[in-house]
């Protein structure tokens, strides 16, 4: 997750023409804590919905599907919506350098 922070800082500078790395890092710290909380709660609710039983030695098929959804498919769906690719970040960084040379 922390490897994405420089991408977000560059994207913010590209859009606003201001480099606000300190603010972005502070906000990332806040959202990291919120994400940890939600990352503990949401899979629990998903697994409860699919009838996961922590006391059982084996789980029913539905519970295994719940584990699969909460640990594989839901994160894939969320991360697939991340708009910045390596190529896009390279373009943004080149544009920032070009703007600084022209300033």
Nearest of 4, 18, 38 to residue 100 by alpha carbon: 18
What pLDDT does 1 receive? 63
Asked if pLDDT for residue 7 goes beyond 90, the answer is no
- Tokens representing 33 are 């804590």
What pLDDT does 67 receive? 93
Q: pLDDT tens, 40-98?
A: 899 999 999 999 999 999 999 999 999 999 999 998 998 899 888 889 989 999 998 99
Distance between CA atoms of 70 and 51, rounded to whole angstroms? 13
Q: What is the pTM of this model?
A: 0.60
Distance between CA atoms of 20 and 34, rounded to whole angstroms? 21
What pLDDT does 28 receive? 85
Within 13 Å of residue 22, how many CA atoms lie on the same side as its CB? 0
């Amino acid at each position: 997750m922390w490897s994405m922070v420089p991408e977000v800082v560059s994207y913010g500078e590209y859009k606003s023409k201001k480099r606000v790395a300190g603010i972005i890092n502070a906000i990332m710290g806040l959202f990291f804590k919120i994400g940890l909380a939600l990352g503990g709660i949401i899979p629990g609710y998903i697994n409860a919905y699919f009838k996961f039983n922590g006391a059982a030695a084996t789980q029913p098929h539905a519970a295994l599907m719940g584990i699969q959804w909460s640990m594989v498919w839901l994160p894939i769906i969320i991360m697939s919506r991340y708009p910045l690719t390596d190529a896009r970040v390279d373009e943004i960084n080149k544009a920032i350098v070009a703007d600084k040379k022209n300033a």
